[in-house]
Amino acid sequence: MMNYVEQLNNLGSRPYLFSYRRCPYAMRARMALVDSKIEFDVYEISLRNKPNEMLNISAKGTVPILRLNKLVLDESLDIMKWAYKNSKYKHSDLLEPGDKKIADELVALNDGKFKNSLDSYKYFERYPEKSKVEHRKSCYFFLEILEKRLEITSFLISNTRTFSDICIFPFIRQFMNVDKEWFDNSEYKRVKKWLALLIESDLFKMAMIKPTFS
C-alpha cells in the first residue's frame, strides 16, 4: 500500500479529502461526496498533529479540505456544493429544493447561533457561569424550529432528503450524544424520528466507513 505522500504524488483526477471522522463539518462533506457518487480518497488527520501537506494548501488548519489537482476547497459547504454540482447524477433539486430561502436560513442558523449553543452545552464544564441544563436550554430554539418544519414535511424542506438535512444532521446528532438519555426522552419526537432515519441511512453508514490508511 502506498503511504500518504506517495498517494498525494500519485493524485490523478481523483479528489482527496483531508478529514476527521467525528467532525460534523467533515461528516457532511463526506456525505455529499458519497451522495454524489464521486470517488475520493480520505486522509484521516489528527487535529493535534496536522500534516504539513494539509497546512501547505490551507493555512487555517480546519477540516474538511478537498484537494483536486489545483483546486482547494476548505469550507464544508463549498465542498458539498462542488460535489452536487459535479455529480454525474441529477442532483439539482437537492441543491435548489422547493424553498431555497428557508433552506439557506436553516443552514445559517445551524452554523451560527445553534453551533455556538451546542458547543456551550457540549463543553458545559468550561462555561460554569451556567448549568448544563441552562446550556442545553439555549439549544432548544433550533430544535423547536426543526420540529415545526418536520410537522409539514418528513425532511426539513421536502419529503425527501435535501442539502439542508445533510448540512444540519451531524450537529443534531452531536446534540443527541451529549446526553442521549435526555434526548431519547425529550418531546422533540419529529426531530428524533428524522435523526434516526438519517443515522440509519446507507449514506451515513458509507460516510462513516473507517479510512483504509491515515
Instruction: List residues near ligand GSH by CB under 6 A.
Output: 20, 23, 25, 47, 61-64, 75-77
Q: Enumerate residues 6+ apart whose C-beta is below 8 A from 87.
A: 35, 36, 37, 38
Q: Please say which residue, 23 or 198, places its beta carbon nearer to ligand GSH.
A: 23
Q: Please say which residue, 31 or 63, places its beta carbon nearer to ligand GSH.
A: 63
Closest CA to 97 of 158, 18, 16: 158
Q: Which contiguous run of DSSP H or E holds residue 72?
A: strand 71-73
Q: Which contiguous run of DSSP H or E holds residue 67?
A: strand 65-68
- The CA–CA distances, whole Å, from 214 to 1, 55, 62, 208 equal 12, 16, 17, 15
Q: Please say which residue, 23 or 106, places its beta carbon nearer to ligand GSH.
A: 23
Minimal distance, residue 25 CB to ligand GSH, in Å: 4
Minimal distance, residue 194 CB to ligand GSH, in Å: 22
Q: Please say which residue, 99 or 119, places its beta carbon nearer to ligand GSH.
A: 119
Minimal distance, residue 137 CB to ligand GSH, in Å: 24
